[in-house]
Chain A
Amino acid sequence: MTKTLFEIVSTVMNIPIEKISDISGPNSIPDWDSFNMFVLLDEIEKEFDVKFSLEETLEIKTVGDFRKKLEEGNK
């Protein structure tokens, strides 16, 4: 899952995959603005076949938050 998640972040945020970790977010990724964050959310939802609620969406601040939400969904 990590690999796919990082790959999506890398494509959407236009950043090499080596530079991505769980703490990556708007502070470390220059392209991470609110719109790209939403594009990212959309692609992650499609790839993992999940739907985040609006509330969950607003809680997500970093790549790690995405991972946590996806893991919660898998339980």
Chain B
Amino acid sequence: MPSEEKLSSYLNKSKLISNSNYAKKIRIAILGGFTLNGLEETMRVKCDEKKIQCTTYVSGYNQYNQEIIDEKSQLYKFSPDITFLIIDCRNVFGELFLNPYSLSAEERKQFVQTKSDEIINLAKTLVKKSNSKLIISNFSIPSYSPIGINETREEFGLHDMVRSLNQNIKIGLRLEPEIFIYDLNSFVSKFGEHNVFNYKQFFYGDIRISLDYIPYLAQELMGYVTAVLGLIKKCIVLDLDNTLWGGIIGEDGFDGIKLGDDPIGRAYVEFQNNLLALNQRGVLLAINSKNNFDEAIQVIKEHPNMILKEDNFACVRINWNDKVANMKEISDELNIGLDSMVFVDDDPVNIEYVRSNLPEVASIQMPADNCHNNASNLKSMTAIFDMLKLTDEDKARNTMYLEQRKRAEFKTQVGNLENFLKQMNISVNIKNADDFTIPRISQLTLKTNQFNLTTRRYQEEDIRKFSQDSKKIVECAQIKDKFGDNGITAAYIVNKDNEQQWTIDTFLLSCRVIGRGVEDGILSHIIEKARKDGISQVRGEYIKTEKNQPAENLFVDFGFKKEGDFWIFDTNDQFKKPKHLVIS
């Protein structure tokens, strides 16, 4: 686990934050049921380090109820993007926390039910009255019990009460799109109740998360901030020797490397299992290793203890080329920006080399002592892949990239692009924004950087509002071909300005379907729709960013004419609708 700086160092740094004007901005509110001084300062420093401009609001001590219920409260005036509500059992149970057995089991059940409902209502009220996402902490199950060893025999005892409270709020809030439960109970388990809760600090200033652990808490909460802003890592690029297995294949040979069956080898098997789990939830894996290809690939294909198989890797670079050059190639092949990539290597020289040449890549050095560190090291790695919602597309992403590899092979076989596209049997299925597609449309606007005309980022609640607006069209497209289903990989938002004119607010394509004429197909669909509604012109903008060069020529190639900042298409004009795909 990476160690944290002292709280005082964050407090000092927070005083030095200058009013920089970063592109990424976030407004954070912190509501606490006890003293959380220092958390706000630490989060501001951590945001500043990530070039996020952060404005904060901290509610008065233990004022969370009033702040949420009162529509005119400072909280709502502040208008946060994200609110952290951190309360504990003492807030909810009051004195009953210390003497729960003054009530009967039946009364205890009733009490927990009432309290759960109160918390669930409070959480729902906050998101209803604001545009904020809410992160609410769950409750740490105490190790203490007034009845000691009999706690585990008691019907609905103190520990059951807390467990049940956690379970109730999880069930009650699980499907709320703007509410997320932060697992504070796991946080306390990870660091230990005796460390996180310090009686002196508690009695002195009602501090219930001790000063040493505030920076760790801030670090975990940052995961939500980066996820809301769409700063997500998508791919782990791995070295092989002393990273996926112990030892060096070129020296130790197939039978000499350490992988399973011995203490050191077990650590690597565990690490591979962790990576496999990440892969299954949609994080791509790639290899960047200096080795003889044949020797190394033999291990991947044939070693009995290899957990990751060849098909788990979306891209493989095993050669003697420069690691930075390999990184760039992997980024190109996968169509993933370097800033969405994580590089893992055991060699500090490689890490430094990649770090200095490609600072946008998150480079992580494998700890020298893998036995102790690799699983927990990876835990901190999983946090940087956290997004607020795992969609079905995420879970199926690996299969999609495999299909992509097969498409590329097929393309080289067929040779010419036109023939290739004809034989691909591409179908574009246009879908309305509904409960199933809204999370994905929002995710696409937050994540798509390359084929994105305007790069406007929209949260789920924005998309939901747009979809109910009769002056807007919000749609997306599911794209299939002979190799498989690419999922929902295109989306667009059109504003119906007036009787004559529509404006394309957003138009984007996930990188894995670029270059197949899908964009022209969807654009023709929009023009045809406009024609049917008697609209005479459709216009759009291309807002240039560092990354959206792939979308630059969409309008000109299709036949739009530039007028000022806009590209205009007269719906009476002819256009070439791509013939190789079916739009439905």
Q: What residues make up the interface of A, taking CB atoms closer than 8 Å to B?
A: 11-12, 14, 34-36, 38-39, 42-43, 54, 57
B253 CB to nearest A CB, Å: 49
Given A11-B12, A38-B211, do A43 and B204 touch, yes or no (CB 8 Å)? no
Q: Which residues of B lie under 8 Å from residue A11 when comparing CB positions? A: 8, 12
A38 touches B8 (CB 8 A): no
Please indicate the chain B residues that have their CB under 8 angstroms from the CB of A36 in the complex: 11
Interface residues in B1-40 (C-beta closer than 8 Å to A): 6-8, 11-12, 15, 35, 37-38
Which among A12, A38, A43 has the greatest number of chain B C-beta atoms within 10 A?
Answer: A38
Known: A43-B6, A54-B200, A57-B200. A38 touches B207 (CB 8 A): yes
Q: How many A-B residue pairs have CB under 8 A?
A: 33
Residues of B within 8 A of A35 (CB): 35, 37-38, 205
| Cross-interface CB contact of B8 among A34, A43, A54, cutoff 8 Å | A43
Contact B6 A57 (CB under 8 A): no
* Contacts known (A35-B37, A38-B201, A57-B200); A12 close to B207, Cβ less than 8 A: no
* B436 in contact (CB, < 8 A): no
> Is B7's CB under 8 angstroms from A39's CB?
yes
Enumerate chain A residues within 8 angstroms of B15, measured Cβ to Cβ. Answer: 14
The interface residues of chain B lying within 8 Å CB-to-CB of A34 are 205
Inter-chain contact B11/A39, CB cutoff 8 Å: yes
B:199-222 near A, CB below 8 Å:
200-201, 203-205, 207, 211-212
**29 A-B contacts (beta carbon < 8 Å):** A11-B8, A11-B12, A12-B8, A12-B11, A14-B12, A14-B15, A34-B205, A35-B35, A35-B38, A35-B205, A36-B11, A38-B204, A38-B205, A38-B207, A38-B211, A39-B7, A39-B8, A39-B11, A39-B38, A39-B211, A42-B201, A42-B211, A42-B212, A43-B6, A43-B8, A54-B200, A54-B203, A54-B204, A57-B200
Which residues in B have some Cβ–Cβ distance to A below 8 Å?
Answer: 6-8, 11-12, 15, 35, 37-38, 200-201, 203-205, 207, 211-212
Kindly list chain A residues whose C-beta atoms are within 8 Å of the C-beta of B205.
34-35, 38
A6 to chain B, nearest CB (A): 15
**A28→B35 CA distance, assembly (Å):** 25
Q: How far is the CB of B463 from chain A (nearest CB, A)?
A: 41
Residues of A within 8 A of B37 (CB): 35
17 additional contacts, CB 8 Å, given A11-B12, A38-B207, A42-B212? A12-B11, A14-B12, A14-B15, A35-B35, A35-B37, A35-B38, A35-B205, A36-B11, A38-B201, A38-B205, A39-B211, A42-B201, A42-B211, A43-B6, A54-B200, A54-B204, A57-B200
Complex: chain B residue closest to A12, CB-CB: B8
Closest residue of chain A to B201, judged by CB?
A38
Residues in B whose Cβ lies below 8 Å from that of A54: 200, 203-204
Nearest Cβ on chain A to B69's Cβ, whole angstroms: 27
- The smallest C-beta distance from B424 to any residue of chain A, in angstroms, reads 63
Q: What 6 A-B pairs come out closest when comparing CB atoms?
A: A35-B37, A12-B8, A42-B211, A39-B8, A54-B200, A38-B205
Per the bound structure, the CA–CA distance linking A35 and B41 in Å amounts to 13
Contact B8 A57 (CB under 8 A): no
Give B8 Cβ to nearest chain A Cβ, in Å.
5
Give the docked Cα–Cα distance between A38 and B6 (Å).
Answer: 13
Known: A14-B12, A35-B37, A39-B211. A57 touches B7 (CB 8 A): no
**Shortest Cβ distance from A30 into chain B, in angstroms?**
12
Docked complex Cα distance between A66 and B194 (Å): 26
Min C-beta distance of B204 to chain A, whole Å: 6
CA distance A22 to B7 in the complex (A): 25
Whole-angstrom distance between the alpha carbons of A34 and B200 in the complex?
A: 14
Q: Whole-angstrom distance from the CB of B519 to the nearest CB of chain A?
A: 55
Residues of A within 8 Å of B203, CB to CB, are 54
Report how far A43 CA is from B5 CA in the complex, Å.
Answer: 12
Task: Output the nearest chain B residue to A40 by Cβ-Cβ distance.
Answer: B8
Give the residue name and chain of the B residue nearest to A57 (CB): B204
